[in-house]
Structure 1
Amino acid sequence: MVYTGVLTKMQTEFLEPIQYYLVFDNDFIHVNQLLNKTIGIKRVGYQCLSCGLDRPIFRQGFCKSCFFDKPVAGDWIMRPELSTAHLGKEDRDLEYEKKVQLQPHIVYLANSSNVKVGVTRKTQVPTRWIDQGAHEAIEIVEVPNRYLAGITEVALKDHVADKTNWRKMLKNDIEDVDLIEWRSNLKVFIPEEVTDYFVENNSETHLAFPVEQYPIKPKSLNLEKMPNYAGILKGIKGQYLIFEDDTVFNIRSNEGIVVELNV
């Protein structure tokens, strides 16, 4: 069967294992049901996630014009410490920025390839951890806006990683650690204005991914260089499809590309 649509990050359900869905305008695919089946992926065009035009994707699913103009791609998205809505200061669209920035945010520790610190809106827990391929995670602080979460992340980055090694994550080259102990040890580095928001009593969240075979030497599929690919699906972790020949395909980094999926 052939499905055609624009790639957006897979929707998920927090079950054991995680359930994954690819959602197109007129169809959706329960990706877990495709394990051990051959999937063909063909690039047929582009569709900017903002303007909807058939333009080459620049970053984050947006064409170049939208990436530099639209509030959904502001610098504060990737660097929350740059948020200014709590001061009433506009970056690109103050109303949008207030809507997103002035809501509860979580600073967390996640263990995917290593222990890392991150920021997400409270409503995105545990989705954010699933998207990162973390097998365990825990909240450190819960704050009322994105700025406070951002300055906390910056303060902690000197003492814990803030990036995931995607190859190690996909190879399942991980070890269990005591995130409660990590959180306790990092408490002294939290900015003074955030200390009252420290989360004292909660437990680790554990996540299980539908993977039957981990890649030994993961090689990333680039649809710009190889617009047509087919392989047997052996797993799903984070936002990656894992194939039998060690090819891995990051759905999130290919948002905005229009594909034909032959399943």
Structure 2
Amino acid sequence: MEYQGVLKKMPTENGDQIQYYLDMKTDFLNMNQLLNRDITMSFVTYECLNCHREREIYRQGFCKSCFFETPNAGEWIMRPELSTAHLDIEDRDLAYEKSVQLQPHIVYLANSSNVKVGVTRKTQVPTRWIDQGAHEAIEIVEVPNRYLAGITEVALKEHVADKTNWRKMLKNDVEDENLTDWRQKLRSYIPEEAQEYFIENNTETQLHFPVKQYPEKPKSLNIKKTGSYSGKLVGIKGQYLIFEDNTVFNVRANEGLVVGIKID
């Protein structure tokens, strides 16, 4: 079976085991069904996720001009504390920014390689945690806009990590943590503007990834450099495909690349 399409973040479904899908334009692959199968992946070309032109990808699946123009790549995406839609101030497209920023947001704790703080729209729970490879997570604050979530994250990351060690996450070199205790320890550091939105009573969410074999020494695949790669798929965690020979491939980090996929 052979497929070709532009890489985008894999959609997921949470359940007893997380289900992963890969959109190949004319085909929608359930990646869980490909575990223990040999896969060959080949780099073909580029396709910007915004303008859909054959242009080299700059960042986040966008060509360079789109990255600096599309509202989907505004700086507030990565730095929520820079959100200004609640002030009626435009960055690139106020209507779009209001649609995203002025909705409920969650500040959460997730444990993937370590306990970290993060921000996501409420509608993206638990998708955001899955994408980060977290095996457990908990909401700590639910606020009405992205700005409040952003300033809360900035305050809390003075006391807890805000990054994931991807190698440690993929090796499954993690320890269970009591996130309820962590939430209580961090409560006093929440900014005054967000204190009323603290979540008193909820429980951890546990997530289970389809991995048959974790890599001992993960080797990141650069498909643009190698041109092609063949290996047996043995797991999926976060947005990474894990292969038997310790090779790992970050689908999200390669958004905008057009690839061919052959399944033996």
TM-score normalised by structure 2 residue count: 0.99
Could you say which residue in structure 1 is the equivalent of 2:138?
138
Query: How far did 1:24 drift?
Result: 2.3
**Amino acid of the structure 2 residue aligned with 1:112:** S
The reply on whether 1:71 has 2:71 as its aligned counterpart is yes
Take 1:166 and 1:197, find their aligned partners in 2: how far apart are those partners?
A: 31
Could you say which residue in structure 1 is the equivalent of 2:206?
206
Could you say which residue in structure 2 is the equivalent of 1:24?
24
Q: Which runs of 4+ in 1 moved over 2 A?
A: none
Could you say which residue in structure 2 is the equivalent of 1:3?
3
Query: How far did 1:57 drift?
Result: 0.4
Take 1:83 and 1:227, find their aligned partners in 2: how far apart are those partners?
A: 39
Take 1:256 and 1:149, find their aligned partners in 2: how far apart are those partners?
A: 29
| Deviation per residue, 1:14-56 (Å, 9 max, x gap) | 0121000001221110000000010000010111000000000
Could you say which residue in structure 2 is the equivalent of 1:228?
228
| Deviation per residue, 1:156-211 (Å, 9 max, x gap) | 01000000000000000000010000000000000001000000000000000000
Could you say which residue in structure 1 is the equivalent of 2:120?
120
Mapping of 1:1-263 within 5 angstroms?
1-263=1-263
Take 2:147 and 2:45, find their aligned partners in 1: how far apart are those partners?
A: 37
Take 1:155 and 1:109, find their aligned partners in 2: how far apart are those partners?
A: 13
Q: Structure 2: which 5+ residue stretches go unaligned? A: none
Q: Structure 1: which 5+ residue stretches go unaligned? A: none
| Deviation per residue, 1:196-238 (Å, 9 max, x gap) | 0000000000000000000000000011211200000000000
Take 1:227 and 1:66, find their aligned partners in 2: how far apart are those partners?
A: 25
Identity %: 72
Paired residue secondary structure (1:72):
helix
Take 1:92 and 1:223, find their aligned partners in 2: how far apart are those partners?
A: 33
**Amino acid of the structure 1 residue aligned with 2:162:** D
**Amino acid of the structure 1 residue aligned with 2:138:** I
Considering only aligned residues, what root-mean-square deviation do their CA atoms show, in Å? 0.4
**Amino acid of the structure 1 residue aligned with 2:208:** A
**Amino acid of the structure 2 residue aligned with 1:44:** V
Take 2:29 and 2:41, find their aligned partners in 1: how far apart are those partners?
A: 14
Take 1:193 and 1:126, find their aligned partners in 2: how far apart are those partners?
A: 25
Take 2:205 and 2:144, find their aligned partners in 1: how far apart are those partners?
A: 22
Take 1:101 and 1:180, find their aligned partners in 2: how far apart are those partners?
A: 27
**Amino acid of the structure 1 residue aligned with 2:43:** R
Take 1:20 and 1:69, find their aligned partners in 2: how far apart are those partners?
A: 31
Take 1:65 and 1:230, find their aligned partners in 2: how far apart are those partners?
A: 33
Paired residue secondary structure (1:69):
coil
Q: How many correspondences in the alignment?
A: 263
Take 1:79 and 1:58, find their aligned partners in 2: how far apart are those partners?
A: 19
**Amino acid of the structure 2 residue aligned with 1:232:** K
Paired residue secondary structure (1:224):
helix
**Amino acid of the structure 2 residue aligned with 1:27:** D
